[in-house]
A and B are shown apart, each in its own frame.
Chain A
Amino acid sequence: MTSAHVFQQWSAILFVVVLAITGEVLIAAGMRGLGDLDRFRTRPGLVGYFGPVRAVLSNPLFLIGALCMALNFFAMLYTLSIVELSLAAPAIGSLTYIGNTVAAKLFLHENVDRRRWLAALFVCAGVVLLSK
């Protein structure tokens, strides 16, 4: 395997990770802004879900985040075609996890206490062990 090929593989992995973090943080910000979706339900039954769906689909932060996630999906398909799943899955999973935790603290101002940091580290270690 040439160094150019390794560079291409890790570039693809990092591109997927950045898209995932951007998308998830934007979606989380949009959904937090909307609050509990049940309050948009106008009536019981399936028809009542029209209100929450309309509220979500008219939220700009959600739409930009969803666009990032759609790009992430196709980038993931491309990455899986050039990187083995046993490398791509744990690398993308753990890097996205740590990146999301940092981004949630910085941009969403979530209370990332010791318990959540510990959980992030445990998940990353667990994902790496699962790939062995």
Chain B
Amino acid sequence: MKHTLTPRRYLILMAVMLTAPVGDTLLSRGMSQVGPVDLHHLGLLLHALTNINVIAGILLLIGFFATYTTSLSWADLTFVMPATAFGYVVIALLSRFWLHEYLSPYRWAGIVLIVCAVGFVANGPSRTEHPSDHPDLDRMDSGVGR
């Protein structure tokens, strides 16, 4: 049985793709403002929670976590993973077209590879069928040979 995704589920996957990279970027920016944390000053991690970029990053990552877990209720982990990997592409494209940074040919090649990976998986079924996923059918099947 091939599982197809509804437009709503594609929207959830889009949110998975976008919230993680933007959240990670904000976290990275915030932690660079907080400064290096070592084992003897772990309290700085709590201090980091007062940084606006860290807070915004955490909120976006909570959104990522909610959409990610929702998607895992109807799709395989190995199906959803390329969507999360697409976040690297989003970061690279944001840095090129928003921050006007230079993207080397290596990075363009990386973007093409990840887009291809998403295409491979998106064309396949979204979920592996296990017998235990359909207990009703199991019961029906068990009566066939009687």
Contacts and interface: CB of A to CB of B under 8 A. Distances in A.
Given A82-B38, A97-B85, A126-B85, A36 B73 contact: yes
A119 B73 contact: no
B144 interface: no
Interface residues of A, number: 49
A81 B72 contact: no
B135 to A, nearest CB: 11
A31 interface: yes
A110 B76 CA distance: 7
A37 B77 CA distance: 16
Given A37-B70, A78-B37, A123-B85, A129 B120 contact: no
Given A31-B72, A77-B45, A110-B76, A130 B111 contact: yes
B92 interface: yes
Given A25-B77, A81-B38, A109-B128, A119 B117 contact: yes
Interface residues of B, number: 47
A85 B116 CA distance: 25
A13 to B, nearest CB: 16
A82 B88 CA distance: 21
B111 A126 contact: yes
A64 interface: no
B26 to A, nearest CB: 13
Interface of B: 24, 27-28, 31, 35-38, 42, 45, 48, 61, 65, 69-70, 72-74, 76-79, 81-82, 85, 88, 92, 104, 106-107, 109-114, 116-118, 120-121, 123-125, 128, 130, 133
The 10 tightest CB contacts between A and B, nearest first, are: A129-B110, A126-B113, A130-B110, A122-B117, A126-B114, A31-B72, A119-B117, A132-B106, A81-B37, A28-B77
